[in-house]
Structure 1
Amino acid sequence: MKLQEKILTAAKETISTEAKAIANLEHLIDEEFVEAVETIYNSTGRVIVTGIGKSAVIGNKIVATLNSTGTPAVFMHAGDAIHGDLGTIQKEDVVLCISKSGNSPEIKVLVPFIKNFNNTLIAITGDKSSFLGQAADFVLNSYVEKEACPNNLAPTTSTTAQLVIGDAVAICLLKLRGFSRKDFAKYHPGGSLGKKLYLRVSDITSQNQKPRVSPESNITEVILEISEKMLGVTPVIENNEIIGIITDGDIRRMLKNNEEIKGLTAKDIMSANPKIISHNALAVDALEIIQENKISQLLAAENGRYTGVVHLHNLIREGIL
């Protein structure tokens, strides 16, 4: 087998193996899963997530997901727990322990201490009859038939299954809490994701110049306004209300279709009923309108009053697109 074929075959087999295992998890979700989620939801404490090895790595990701979706969570490494980190666990906390086998030496040492604290213990494990499975108050079954590793040794499919179970828990809690886009924005203020959730049209329009012409403005005035304000567009304003729009494309079409332009005014070439968005709308909503209508600029207004222009380039520069 050629090297390229070997790589493609291995990659496809890995994806296929993991996909089948993940699909099977749906059949493992039961009443115990429901009770575990309800326990976390009703708890006044945090979720303390613990594990060892690759399960610890997955645990860190689950903690990040829980925290970002409204469920306070802390990671506690199972190996460090018995050397002082057990103090992380407070009275009202729920402990979520992750282990494929449920029989790791560190887990066997840790679990009795957790039980002595009388905290609720939830297990994510592939073996319900294991030491962890037997000790836990609730077991979230992450059983997989085999690893993607051809030797069935390297944690691959099993860690993916643990991650999916953790995501399922987090999303269930998100829905129970009614966690909204506004809530999400509070925890994700940075980067393009944050901007999609909090950046508003007013934040964009304030960066731009504010072109405008009256219905009686002559063509020279219109062309100069579009050129000077560098947005490729100008609204036609009457009594501070938008009655039309003129783009640089409209100017080109006017020159092509009219041999004599002297005497033409803005109202003669404007497009009536332009697309308008609220001054307070999210910038990502402006992007949606721009894309749906295949336009480059969008006018903004507040209570019917013109407030500015949003250009596609603004949204690209902000990382919204």
Structure 2
Amino acid sequence: MNNEDRIISVAKKTIETESQAIRNLIPLVDAAFAGAVNYIFNSNGRVIVTGIGKSANIATKIVATLNSTGTPAIFMHAADAIHGDLGTVQENDSVICISKSGNTPEIKVLVPLIKAAGNKLIAITSNTKSFLGTQADYILNAYVEKEACPNNLAPTSSTTAQLVIGDALAMSLLDLRGFSSKDFAKFHPGGSLGKQLYLRVSNLTELNEKPQVSPDTDIKNVILEISKKMLGVTAVIENDKIVGIITDGDLRRMLATTDSFVGLTAKDIMSKNPKTIDNDAMAVQAMEVMDTNGITQVLAQKNGKYTGVVHIHNLTKEGII
């Protein structure tokens, strides 16, 4: 077997092993899992997620997922906790401790301290009969038969299982909270996902010039308006209403078919009934209009009055595309 075939074979085997480990978790989700979710949901405190080694890395991701979906969470490294960071845990906080074996030295020191303080302890472990498992108030069973590592040593399937259990916990809490897309946007205001949920057409039109001409504007001034406003387009406005649109493409077609421009006005070359979008619509809807109609700009209006232009470059700059 050459190197390429060997690489592909190992990669596929790894994915198969880990995917099977995830499927095996389904029957392990039980009343203890539901109890842990309900306790966190009804608690006034935060969720402290702790672990050591690779489990600590998984803990940081679970914390990020919880925070972004409405459940306040903090990461606490298990080793640091027993050297001064235990003060992170407050009276009403729940503590999720992640450990495959449940028997590491740091866990054996940390767990009694958490229990003595009266905080609820939730274990994510592959060994329910471990020290961690027997001390926990709720056990989230993350049992895996074997690691994807051929030596069954490097944490692979086990950390994947821990991550999936954490996601299941977070999504269960999200569901109980009725966490909506608007809520999601509040926690992701700077990301492209958040912008899709809160950025409106009005936020984009205000960034641009507002090109417009009347139906009787001569061609020279139409060209000047399009060039000056640098959006490759101008609206044709009559009585505050959009009656047409002229794009760079319209000008090129005019040049290809017309020998004399004397007497030509905007109404002679404009496209009637242009695609428009409400100024209060979501920016992502503007993208859909452009994509559906194969255009790069769309005119915005509010209460029937022209408000400006949304250009595909606006969407690109904001990360919508």
On whether the aligned pair clears a TM of 0.5, the verdict is yes
Q: Superposition pairs for residues 132-281 of structure 1, below 5 Å? A: 132-256=132-256, 262-281=262-281
1:304 and 1:24, CA in 2 relative to 1: closer, same or farther beyond 3 A? Answer: farther
SS in 2 for 1:98: strand
Distance 1:167 1:262 in 2: 68
Q: Note the aligned Cα RMSD (angstroms).
A: 2.1
The equivalent of 1:59 in structure 2 is 59
In the superposition, the TM-score normalised over structure 2's length comes to: 0.91
SS in 2 for 1:75: strand
Shift of 1:54: 0.7
Distance 1:230 1:93 in 2: 56
Q: Deviations over 1:112-144 (max 9, x none)?
A: 222222221111111222222222121112112
Of 290-299 and 200-209, more deviation after overlay is shown by 200-209
Distance 2:45 2:78 in 1: 20
Distance 1:9 1:35 in 2: 41
Gaps of 5+ in 2: none
SS in 2 for 1:152: coil
Shift of 1:274: 2.2
Residue 92 of structure 2 is aligned to residue 92 of structure 1: yes
SS in 2 for 1:299: strand
Distance 1:267 1:35 in 2: 69
Give the AA of the match of 2:112: P
The equivalent of 1:111 in structure 2 is 111
The equivalent of 1:14 in structure 2 is 14
The equivalent of 1:47 in structure 2 is 47
1:144 and 1:292, CA in 2 relative to 1: closer, same or farther beyond 3 A? Answer: farther
SS in 2 for 1:110: helix
Give the AA of the match of 2:44: T
In the superposition, the TM-score normalised over structure 1's length comes to: 0.91
Give the AA of the match of 1:41: F
Distance 2:184 2:223 in 1: 44
Of 9-18 and 194-203, more deviation after overlay is shown by 194-203
SS in 1 for 2:14: helix
The equivalent of 1:125 in structure 2 is 125
Q: Deviations over 1:2-59 (max 9, x none)?
A: 2222222222221221122223323322232222111111100000111111101111
Distance 1:188 1:66 in 2: 13
Shift of 1:312: 0.7
Gaps of 5+ in 1: none
Distance 1:93 1:228 in 2: 60
Distance 2:143 2:85 in 1: 29
Q: Deviations over 1:77-126 (max 9, x none)?
A: 22222223222222211111111122222222222222222221111111
Shift of 1:191: 4.5
Distance 2:253 2:172 in 1: 55
Shift of 1:299: 1.1
The equivalent of 1:314 in structure 2 is 314
1:267 and 1:26, CA in 2 relative to 1: closer, same or farther beyond 3 A? Answer: farther
Shift of 1:188: 2.3
Q: Deviations over 1:210-229 (max 9, x none)?
A: 11111223333333322332
Give the AA of the match of 2:160: T
The 4+ residue runs of structure 1 with deviation greater than 4 A are 255-264
Distance 1:29 1:244 in 2: 60
Q: Superposition pairs for residues 280-299 of structure 1, below 5 Å? A: 280-299=280-299
1:216 and 1:24, CA in 2 relative to 1: closer, same or farther beyond 3 A? Answer: farther
Distance 1:80 1:227 in 2: 62
Among all aligned residue pairs of Structure 1 and Structure 2, give the percentage whose two residues are the same amino acid: 68
Give the AA of the match of 1:245: I
Give the AA of the match of 1:94: S
SS in 1 for 2:24: helix
SS in 1 for 2:213: coil
Q: Count matched residues.
A: 321
Shift of 1:193: 4.2
